[in-house]
Amino acid sequence: MRIGLITSAPDHPLLAAAGALLTARGHRVEALDPAAPAGTGPLTDVHPPADAYLLKARTPAALALARSLEERGAPVVNPAAATELCQDRTAMAGLARRAGLPFAPTRTADSPAALLAAAEAGDLALPLVVKSRHSRRHDLVARVDDLARLRALAEQWPGEPVVAQPYLPSTGWDQKLWVVDGQLFCTRRRSELADPGHPGPPHGAGGFGPDDLPAERARLALRVGEVFGLDVYGVDLLDGPDQPVVVDVNAFPGVRGQAGAPEALAALALRAAAAGTRGRPSLPRPRPGAPADAEPGAAAR
């Protein structure tokens, strides 16, 4: 089989380990850099397409490349449409809440200044979490406890489309859940929004794996994949007694340091390739009709 990697970083630990497994079994692994100039590099050598592709990059160029390969009949993990949907936090929240997932209430605004106006008018309660609407590297993710902080964001991020979610009490740690082809991996990580004085992780500093995860949270993680049409994804849950609350869904995260993840990814690539060569869709597709706003009437004006 030929397996393509759509990424500018084929040496990423998860991709490199999965690629080594595939190569050792006699399969061919090819990296396609979506940032390569048009007409140069490996992008010119996709005739015919590989048997399946792993879409790790999430840039506009990577999504365009993935779509063109899908149009030519190549299976792509995850599909371009599902990957793009997870880049829009408004669409993500809307789809999740329509599907009955316990996603944090999400309000959309044209800018932090619009949130500030709503808060000053008494139409928006603090504290809250403000994030860039469009997920990308170095985007805005900030905890807002008072109007002064919101004014500062309005000055620092003028014109940035944002979403706002209520700041919910938690242990100061997040549960990071990853799914690769139905196999669950997880860990705890300190929340970037937690107070500096927050204590260590609950139940000590020991490991946190699938066996430590409550069954309802494991089922929730798998349900997210069904709703979003994803086979490799991450789910961020608040860690606390009144949870679970989903605060983010990531298409094809790093899944670093998780034993068994490279094996699961290699098996998924071969499954997608085998199904694709039989001429039928290999993977689920996301539900259509992502909303313009996360919740009707919730956009800050």
Encode pLDDT of 254-284 as tens digits. Answer: 898 899 999 999 999 999 999 876 543 444 4
Residue environment code for 200-209, b if the CB has 16+ CB neighbours within 10 A, otherwise e: ebeeeeeebe
Query: Whole-model pTM?
Result: 0.85
Architecture of the 2-85 domain:
3-Layer(aba) Sandwich (3.40)
Q: What pLDDT was estimated at residue 69?
A: 94
Residue in this structure with the two tokens 């990580």, named with its chain if needed = 189
Share of the chain above pLDDT 70, in %: 80
Neighbours of 180 (CB within 10 A): 28
Q: In this predicted model, what pLDDT tens digit does every residue of 150-167 receive, in sequence order?
A: 999 999 999 999 999 998
Residue with more model confidence, 73 or 287: 73
How far apart are alpha carbons 223 and 225 in whole angstroms?
Answer: 5
Share of the chain above pLDDT 90, in %: 67
Q: What pLDDT was estimated at residue 95?
A: 97
Q: Which two tokens stand for residue 28?
A: 């061919």
Residue in this structure with the two tokens 């964001």, named with its chain if needed = 153
Q: Which two tokens stand for residue 273?
A: 């390739």
- pLDDT exceeds 50 at position 290: no
Among 19-28, 38-47, 169-178, 202-211, name the most confident range. 19-28
Q: What DSSP state is assigned to residue 38?
A: T
291 falls in which pLDDT band (50, 70, 90)?
Answer: very low
The CATH number of 105-166 is 3.30.1490.20
Q: What pLDDT was estimated at residue 214?
A: 83
Cα dist. 291→61, 84, 89, 129 in Å? 24, 14, 11, 21
Q: Which two tokens stand for residue 42?
A: 């490996």
Q: How far is CA 109 from the centre of its chain?
A: 21
Q: In this predicted model, what pLDDT tens digit does every residue of 195-238 receive, in sequence order?
A: 655 555 555 444 577 777 888 999 999 999 999 999 999 999 88
For the chain, the distance separating the N- and C-terminal CA atoms, rounded to the nearest angstrom, is 53
- pLDDT exceeds 80 at position 46: no
18 falls in which pLDDT band (50, 70, 90)?
Answer: very high
Q: How much is the average pLDDT of 59-83?
A: 95
How far apart are alpha carbons 276 and 6 in whole angstroms?
Answer: 17
Domain ranges (residues) in the chain: 2-85, 105-166
Q: What pLDDT was estimated at residue 242?
A: 63
